[in-house]
A and B are shown apart, each in its own frame.
Chain A
Amino acid sequence: GAVVSQHPSWVICKSGTSVKIECRSLDFQATTMFWYRQFPKQSLMLMATSNEGSKATYEQGVEKDKFLINHASLTLSTLTVTSAHPEDSSFYICSAKDYTNEQFFGPGTRLTVL
Chain B
Amino acid sequence: GENVEQHPSTLSVQEGDSAVIKCTYSDSASNYFPWYKQELGKGPQLIIDIRSNVGEKKDQRIAVTLNKTAKHFSLHITETQPEDSAVYFCAASLGYSTLTFGKGTMLLVSP
Binding site for B on A (CB under 8 A): 1, 4, 6, 34, 41-44, 46, 49, 93, 95, 97, 101-108, 110
If over half of B's interface residues share one DSSP class (helix, strand or loop), that class is named, otherwise mixed; here it is loop
Binding site for A on B (CB under 8 A): 34, 36, 41-46, 49, 89, 96, 98-99, 101-104
Across-interface contacts of B99 in A (CB, < 8 A): 46, 103
Task: For the complex, give the distance between the alpha carbons of A106 and B42 in Å.
Answer: 8
- Find the residue from A34, A43, A49 having the highest chain B CB count within 10 A: A43
Interface contact B46-A43, CB-CB below 8 Å: no
A105 touching B101, Cβ below 8 Å: no
Residues of chain B contacted by A34 (CB below 8 angstroms): 98
Taking a contact as CB atoms under 8 Å apart, the answer to whether B89 and A108 are in contact is no
What separation, in Å, do the CA atoms of A97 and B44 have in the docked complex? 14
Q: Which residues of B contact A95 (CB under 8 A)?
A: 43
Using A34-B98, A49-B98, A105-B36 as known contacts, say yes or no to A43 and B103 having CB atoms under 8 A apart: yes
By beta carbon, the residue of chain B nearest A9 is B41
Is B43 a contact partner of A1 (Cβ separation < 8 A)?
A: no
CA distance A100 to B53 in the complex (A): 17
Q: Can you offer 5 A-B residue contacts whose CB atoms are under 8 A?
A: A6-B43, A34-B98, A41-B104, A42-B103, A93-B44
A41 to B87, CA, bound (A): 9
Which residues from chain A contact B41 at a C-beta distance below 8 Å? Answer: 108, 110
| CB atoms of B44 and A44 under 8 A apart | yes
Are B44 and A43 in contact (CB-based, < 8 A)?
Answer: no
